[in-house]
A = this chain, B = another copy of it.
Amino acid sequence: MLNFDFYNPTRIIFGSNTVKRINDLIPLDAKVLVLYGGESAHKNGTLTEVRDALGTRTVEEFGGIEPNPSYETLMKAVEMIREKGLDFLLAVGGGSVIDGTKFVAAAVGYEGDPWEILEKRGSKIRHALPFGSVLTLPATGSEMNNGGVVTKKATQTKLPFSSSHVFPVFSILDPTKTYTLPVRQLANGVVDAFIHVMEQYLTYPANARVQDRFAEGLLQTLIEIGPLVLDETQDYDTRANLMWTASMALNGLIGAGVPQDWSTHMIGHELTALHNIDHARTLAIVLPANMQVRRTTKRDKLLQYAERVWNITEGNDEQRIDAAIEQTRQFFEGLGLPTRLSDYQLGAKDIDQIVNQLEVHGLTKLGEHGDVTLAVSRSILEASL
């Protein structure tokens, strides 16, 4: 097991009818900015519930945070907070709104150009406004971690950041809030959580038995509930399991003490920035190809994954690895996520540009061994055609 430093102070209030608990969790004299995405937060009544729970506190709203939150939009929220002297943020939405809120929380008092927060990956953040979240879309885990991803539209640059100052103080996880979600977003959420786990699991053995078993438990759960989430709309326990699995998939726990990959995400980010493909859908394209191209360095974990997650025990090593990759691909396809660049009308001619963006962003040594060079990323993209 590798040495680690684990810290996660976010309080999780989980269950139906819990939005009202906001009232106990935000100071009575707070001046609150509620941040959200599209009009669905208004339409489905969650924003009204939130306002009711906030009672007599000063409350302002900032809507319009995009699915891949943009620096340009978020800086408008920063200006609003400075102008109105607000001091507590409340994100109402999914990972994009919460990621964006983290950036805003750090940017308000940032000394220097806030874009530096992204360029320096959060390392220069010294303080941030306190914030909570009401999660409406289980997927990214942002509700229980200290990371975010923000895109600068002007340059098509999508960059991650993290800091111990941007853990949500609390997050409200009410599974009934997912009832009005379109199937596409639910399916994306299942795959996003699945691949978060894979980035922290499918590397090389580190004799971290608990982390491995927790990761495998999350993957097995997603495999079980994925189809249920799509079929049994509004089944409380299915949604609850999805919500908690997605939070656990990226809250630091299964990644503590183990090597991590994240090359699938880094390549995927470029696909979103260049071609506006949903985040989870980029991952569904890149991961199977990544497993295929790097099957030698990932061999031991691929075999463990095949056996423990998919119960694949027949055939020789190579056959079992093939079968595991195929099962993974079929799982994503079964949820409605295509796994080929060609499904998005992208071809060999588009690969140069993607690889070029990786280079521009300095992503030339990715993966758990730092051996995913631009040439390897190119091979992965070619294998995903």
A binding-site residues for B, Cβ under 8 Å: 1-9, 11-16, 18, 207-210, 213-214, 216-218, 220-221, 224-225, 237, 240-241, 244-245, 248, 253, 256-257
Bound Cα distance from A15 to B241, whole angstroms: 32
- The answer to whether A11 and B5 have CB atoms under 8 Å apart is yes
Residues of B within 8 A of A14 (CB): 1, 3-6, 256-257
List of B residues within 8 angstroms of A12 by Cβ: 4-7, 256
Q: How far is the CB of A161 from chain B (nearest CB, A)?
A: 21
In this complex, what residue of B is CB-closest to A249?
A: B210
A15-B4 Cα distance, complex, nearest whole Å = 7
- A14, B206: Cα distance in complex, Å: 14
Nearest CB in chain B to that of A238: its residue: B207
Q: Offer 30 A-B interface pairs, CB within 8 angstroms, sorted by A.
A: A1-B14, A1-B15, A1-B241, A2-B15, A3-B15, A4-B12, A4-B15, A6-B12, A6-B14, A7-B12, A8-B9, A9-B9, A14-B256, A14-B257, A207-B237, A207-B240, A207-B241, A208-B244, A209-B217, A209-B221, A209-B224, A209-B225, A209-B241, A210-B248, A213-B213, A213-B214, A213-B217, A213-B221, A214-B214, A240-B257
Q: Is the CB of B11 within 8 A of A7?
A: yes
Query: Which residues in B have their C-beta under 8 angstroms from that of A207?
Result: 237, 240-241
Query: Could you say which residues of chain B place their CB within 8 Å of the CB of A221?
Result: 209-210, 213
In the complex, residue of chain B having the shortest beta-carbon distance to the beta carbon of A256: B14
Q: A240 to B1, alpha carbons, bound, how many Å?
A: 7
A372 CB to closest chain B CB (Å) equals: 26
Please give me the residue from chain B that is nearest to A254 by CB atom.
B214
Chain B residue nearest in CB terms to A217: B213
Min CB gap A212→B, angstroms: 8
Chain B CB within 10 A, most for which of A15, A209, A214, A240:
A209
